[in-house]
């Protein structure tokens, strides 16, 4: 069902699975239990918590590599390009890993452009998407020589045309189409239906394509869509691909024969609890009939699929209290560190770093931020927690640190990468002095 709009309480009640490890989630994440200790690959997570402190994000580069290679193998039957959605996880160590594997980058801001270039993505493998690009961002994209800019409106095309004309530099373009396709996901991350800010409406695509074709420095070679995130059903992709192919045929009938790629965006859903993830092979089967025999390159822009299961958030229990008939465990990670539970009512599995063997019960896992909405889990069945116990929040590799903030003047967590038997700090924990530095002049 994707990002369910049910509350955690509605989804998390019941005592099924008491004391059992979430085997499929462990497999997805590269986790195992050795004795009482939780390991990521060959690294004991307690050692990371000892050395880096908490809260800390931890990413397995081995899991990221394995997921990229699995996606690449699933698409081998068709010409394709894989462009990682930098918005999902912008850590430079993660980005460098994907760049070395041959991935491109899908970006949505000037800051992400700078990160992608710094991580080693060749400019020609960068796709600049995004619903609102400033003049400065368009200038930077043209100056860098990005491979594609996906245009979202006639106004944006006009601004971009002015930049390439002034600089005398050719540019390949895509049109992000709003295919008016509804995907079963949380409404905040459904981006393919009509009446929202994303993409060019179907009936406005051809006039925009004509304008591009009339400009001597602009080449339209891609029609793109992105229908949402955490999608588990391949049917919306099939419908969207079919609609994009209809537009390719309409453009060709008008003499616009430069389109060589269909970009179906990202959004492949993963397992957070008991979902059946969207298998890339199933996705290809769904869209292949629309692509067959047309000589079009398939472009995908996965983010969550590649990095979501590869990441964990480590946190420590600060206190335990009982109020209004409920047990609450207060931990040192809050909504400013991981906003998904509060913002989307999203479910993340939580497990102990060191299995205590204590009897299990129902508890709310809440953070230290001064908001009632500051929680990581509600009505969750966990072994009795005590101050000093350390926990791992699973499935935190996507839309975790990138959405963190300094609310309540809280420094953002450290980021750690695990590579084989080794781990290292990829981004140090912010300090209180870091919070003041931009203002302390």
User: Which residue numbers are catalytic?
Assistant: 370
Inter-axis angle of helices 280-291 and 61-74, to 10 degrees?
Answer: 30
**Residue bearing tokens 């209004």:** 324
Q: What are phi and psi for residue 426, nearest 5 degrees?
A: -95, -25
Q: Which of 433, 394, 290, 401 is nearest to 30 (CA)?
A: 394
Q: Is 253 exposed, middle or buried (0-12, 13-18, 19+ CB in 10 A)?
A: exposed
**Residue bearing tokens 């909504």:** 335
**Residue bearing tokens 């295919």:** 179
Assess contact for 371 and 417: CB atoms under 8 A.
Answer: no
């Amino acid at each position: 069902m994707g990002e369910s709009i049910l509350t955690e309480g509605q989804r998390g009640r019941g005592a099924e699975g008491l004391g059992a490890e979430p085997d499929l989630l462990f497999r997805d994440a590269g986790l195992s239990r050795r004795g009482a200790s939780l390991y990521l690959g060959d690294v004991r997570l307690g050692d990371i918590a000892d050395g880096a402190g908490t809260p800390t994000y931890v990413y397995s580069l081995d899991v990221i590599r394995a997921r990229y290679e699995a996606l690449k193998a699933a698409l081998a039957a068709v010409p394709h390009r894989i462009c990682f959605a930098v918005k999902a996880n912008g850590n430079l160590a993660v980005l460098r890993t994907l760049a070395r594997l041959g991935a491109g980058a899908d970006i949505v801001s000037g800051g992400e452009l700078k990160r992608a270039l710094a991580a080693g993505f060749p400019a020609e493998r960068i796709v600049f998407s995004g619903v609102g690009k400033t003049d400065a961002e368009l200038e930077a994209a043209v100056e860098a020589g990005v491979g594609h800019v996906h245009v979202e409106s006639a106004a944006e095309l006009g601004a971009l045309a002015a930049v390439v004309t002034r600089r005398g530099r050719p540019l390949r373009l895509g049109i992000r189409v709003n295919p008016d396709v509804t995907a079963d996901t949380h409404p905040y991350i459904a981006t393919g239906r009509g009446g929202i800010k994303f993409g060019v409406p179907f009936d406005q695509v051809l006039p925009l394509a004509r304008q591009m074709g009339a400009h001597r420095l602009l080449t339209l070679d891609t029609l793109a869509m992105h229908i949402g995130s955490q999608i588990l059903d391949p049917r919306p992709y099939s419908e969207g691909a079919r609609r994009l192919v209809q537009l390719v045929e309409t453009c060709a009938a008008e003499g616009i024969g430069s389109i060589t790629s269909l970009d179906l965006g990202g959004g492949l859903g993963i397992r957070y609890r008991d979902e059946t993830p969207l298998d890339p092979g199933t996705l290809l089967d769904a869209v292949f009939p629309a692509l067959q025999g047309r000589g079009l390159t398939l472009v995908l822009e996965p983010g969550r699929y590649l990095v979501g299961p590869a990441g964990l958030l480590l946190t420590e229990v600060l206190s335990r209290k009982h109020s209004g008939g409920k047990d609450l465990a207060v931990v040192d990670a809050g909504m400013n560190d991981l906003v998904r539970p509060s913002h989307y009512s999203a479910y993340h599995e939580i497990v102990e770093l060191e299995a205590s063997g204590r009897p299990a019960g129902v508890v709310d896992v809440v953070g230290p931020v001064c908001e009632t909405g500051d929680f990581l889990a509600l009505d969750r069945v966990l072994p009795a927690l005590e101050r000093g116990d350390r926990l791992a929040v699973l499935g935190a590799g996507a839309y975790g640190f990138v959405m963190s903030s300094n609310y309540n003047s809280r420094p953002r967590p450290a980021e750690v990468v695990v590579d084989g038997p080794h781990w290292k700090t990829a981004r140090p924990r912010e300090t209180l002095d870091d919070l003041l530095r931009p203002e302390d002049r």
